[in-house]
C-alpha cells in the first residue's frame, strides 16, 4: 500500500491527478500539501468523495519543519512534486518566487525524503533506502528550450531553458538528479509538454482564450501566433505519471507528449469557431520576451519501454474541454472575481 505525498494538488494538474488516483488506486493514501497560492483552488477538489483515502494539508513545500512533520506523521512512500510557480509570464515579471518555490522547495522535499527513507540517514556512504520508496519530480519540456523548426526533444537533448520559470524547473530537475547520483535517492523525472483540460487557471492560453471569447473580450495573441506547442490532455499526463510511478526504472527521465503540434493561432481560431464568435476578437499583441518558438516531444522511450500511450485525440480532448468550461462558468467566475481567494481567507483565518 502506498502513501503518496502529492504537492501542489490544488492546482490544475495536481487536482486532476488526485481524481485520477482516487479512481485508479482507491487503496492508496493521498496527502495533498498545497500552499493555496493564487493558482491553488480547493474548489477543484470538491468532488473528491468523502470516502476517499485523502487528506489535505495547507502548507508550503519550503517549510522544512512542516514537511518533516508530515514525514513523521505519515509513512510516506512516494513524493510526487507538482507544487511550483508555473506561469512563464509571471516569471518574467517576478522571478524570485520561482527560484524559492521551484528550487528550494524541491530541495526541502528531497532532504526530508532522504532523512526518512535512508536506512542509515547519517551515513553519507550508505546508499540503502527503504523498499518501494521513490521521489517523483514533475518537470517540463521547457527545460530543453527552443526546438527550432524541425526535430523533437528526446531525453538526451541538451538542457537550455530560456525563461526564469524554465530555468528554475531545470535547476529542480538537476537537483533531483544530483540527489540520485550523490545520495542514491530513488527517483524518476518526467518532462511533459503543454497540458489542457478541466480546472486550468485562466492565465494559460486555452482557458484564457475560452473565458475571453465567452465574454467577447479581445483575444491577446503574442507576436505572430505561430509558436508551436505539443498539446496533451491532462488525463493522459496523469496516466503517464501513474505508469512511471509504478514501472519507471530508477533514476530515469521520461518525456511525455501526445504528438499534437499545433500553432497558437490555430487553437485560438478553433475556440472562436467552436463558440460561434467572430475572428475580429483576435488581437495581436507584443511578443513574450524570450518566447520559445516551438516545443515537440519524442515520446518513444515511455511508449516503447513502459507501454504508455495517450488515450485522447486532440479533437476529442479539446471538444470535451470546451464543454467543461462552458458547463463550469461559475468556477471560472469565482476565479476571475477573486471569490475563490476570499473562501480561503475565511476558511483559514479560523484555524
Q: Active-site residue numbers?
A: 141-142, 165
CA dihedral (142, 144, 148, 154) in degrees, to 10, reads -110
Place of cell 500539501: 33
CA distance 194 to 153: 13
Choosing from 38, 74, 222, 344, the residue that interacts with ligand DAU (CB under 6 A) is 222
Nearer to ligand NAD, 180 or 237 (CB): 237
Contact between 296 and 142 (Cβ < 8 Å):
no
Place of cell 538526451: 156
Phi and psi at residue 26, to the nearest 5° = -60, -20
**How far does CA 273 lie from the centroid of its chain?**
28
Choosing from 34, 60, 141, 173, the residue that interacts with ligand DAU (CB under 6 A) is 141
CA distance 71 to 75: 6
Given the rule CB under 6 A, which of 69-77, 190-198, 211-219, 300-308 is the region that contacts ligand NAD?
Answer: 190-198
CA distance 20 to 22: 6
What does the block give as the cell for 248? 519507471
Least CB distance from residue 25 to ligand NAD, whole Å?
Answer: 20
Nearer to ligand NAD, 127 or 263 (CB): 263
Nearer to ligand NAD, 137 or 212 (CB): 137
Least CB distance from residue 35 to ligand DAU, whole Å?
Answer: 16
CA distance 72 to 223: 50
Q: Which does 39 bind (CB under 5 to 8 A by kind): ligand DAU, ligand NAD, none?
A: ligand NAD
132: left (phi over 0), alpha (psi -120 to 50) or beta: left
**Burial class of residue 154 in the structure, from the number of CB atoms within 10 Å of its CB (0-12 exposed, 13-18 middle, 19+ buried):** middle
Least CB distance from residue 29 to ligand NAD, whole Å?
Answer: 19
Sign of CA dihedral 140, 181, 80, 316: positive
Choosing from 2, 6, 7, 340, the residue that interacts with ligand NAD (CB under 6 A) is 7
Q: Which does 161 bind (CB under 5 to 8 A by kind): ligand DAU, ligand NAD, none?
A: none
The answer to whether residue 198 forms part of the interface with ligand NAD (CB under 6 A) is no
Choosing from 7, 140, 168, 190, the residue that interacts with ligand DAU (CB under 6 A) is 140
Q: Which does 261 bind (CB under 5 to 8 A by kind): ligand DAU, ligand NAD, none?
A: none
In the bound state, the residue with its beta carbon closest to ligand NAD is 11
245: left (phi over 0), alpha (psi -120 to 50) or beta: alpha
Choosing from 77, 107, 140, 243, the residue that interacts with ligand NAD (CB under 6 A) is 140
User: In sequence order, which residues have a C-beta less than 8 Å from that of residue 341 and are 6 or more positions away?
Assistant: 38
The answer to whether residue 118 forms part of the interface with ligand NAD (CB under 6 A) is no
The answer to whether residue 204 forms part of the interface with ligand DAU (CB under 6 A) is yes
The answer to whether residue 90 forms part of the interface with ligand DAU (CB under 6 A) is no
Choosing from 19, 28, 54, 82, the residue that interacts with ligand NAD (CB under 6 A) is 82
Please give the residue ranges that form the binding site for ligand DAU (CB under 6 A): 86-88, 140-142, 193-194, 204-205, 208, 220-222, 227, 229, 264, 288, 295
Amino acid at each position: 500500500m502506498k502513501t503518496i505525498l502529492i504537492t501542489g494538488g490544488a492546482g490544475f494538474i495536481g487536482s486532476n491527478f488526485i481524481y485520477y488516483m482516487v479512481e485508479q488506486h482507491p487503496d492508496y493514501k493521498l496527502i495533498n500539501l498545497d500552499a493555496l497560492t493564487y493558482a491553488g483552488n480547493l474548489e477543484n477538489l470538491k468532488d473528491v468523495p468523502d470516502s476517499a483515502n485523502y487528506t489535505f494539508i495547507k502548507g508550503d513545500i519550503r517549510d522544512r519543519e512542516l514537511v518533516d512533520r508530515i514525514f513523521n506523521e505519515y509513512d510516506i512512500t512516494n513524493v510526487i512534486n507538482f507544487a511550483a510557480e508555473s506561469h512563464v509570464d509571471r516569471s518574467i515579471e517576478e522571478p524570485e518566487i520561482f527560484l524559492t518555490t521551484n528550487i528550494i522547495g524541491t530541495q526541502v522535499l528531497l532532504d526530508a525524503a532522504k532523512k526518512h527513507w535512508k536506512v542509515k540517514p547519517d551515513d553519507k556512504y550508505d546508499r540503502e533506502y527503504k523498499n518501494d520508496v521513490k521521489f517523483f519530480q514533475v518537470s517540463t519540456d521547457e527545460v530543453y528550450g527552443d526546438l527550432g523548426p524541425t526535430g523533437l526533444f528526446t531525453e538526451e537533448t541538451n538542457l537550455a531553458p530560456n525563461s526564469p520559470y524554465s530555468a528554475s524547473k531545470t535547476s529542480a530537475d538537476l537537483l533531483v538528479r544530483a540527489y540520485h547520483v550523490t545520495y542514491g535517492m530513488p527517483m524518476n523525472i518526467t518532462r511533459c509538454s503543454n497540458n489542457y483540460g478541466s480546472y486550468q487557471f485562466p492565465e494559460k492560453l486555452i482557458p484564457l482564450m475560452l473565458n475571453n471569447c465567452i465574454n467577447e473580450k479581445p483575444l491577446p495573441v503574442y507576436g505572430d501566433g505561430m509558436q508551436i506547442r505539443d498539446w496533451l490532455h491532462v488525463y493522459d499526463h496523469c496516466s503517464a505519471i501513474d505508469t512511471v510511478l509504478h514501472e519507471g526504472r530508477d533514476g530515469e527521465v521520461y518525456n511525455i507528449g501526445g504528438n499534437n503540434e499545433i500553432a497558437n493561432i490555430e487553437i485560438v481560431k478553433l475556440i472562436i469557431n467552436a463558440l460561434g464568435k467572430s475572428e475580429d476578437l483576435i488581437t495581436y499583441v507584443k511578443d513574450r520576451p524570450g518566447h520559445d518558438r516551438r516545443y515537440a516531444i519524442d515520446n518513444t522511450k515511455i511508449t516503447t519501454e513502459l507501454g504508455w500511450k495517450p488515450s485522447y485525440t486532440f479533437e476529442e480532448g479539446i471538444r470535451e474541454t470546451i464543454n467543461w468550461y462552458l458547463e463550469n462558468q461559475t468556477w471560472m467566475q469565482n476565479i476571475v472575481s477573486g471569490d475563490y481567494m476570499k473562501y480561503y481567507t475565511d476558511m483559514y483565518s479560523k484555524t
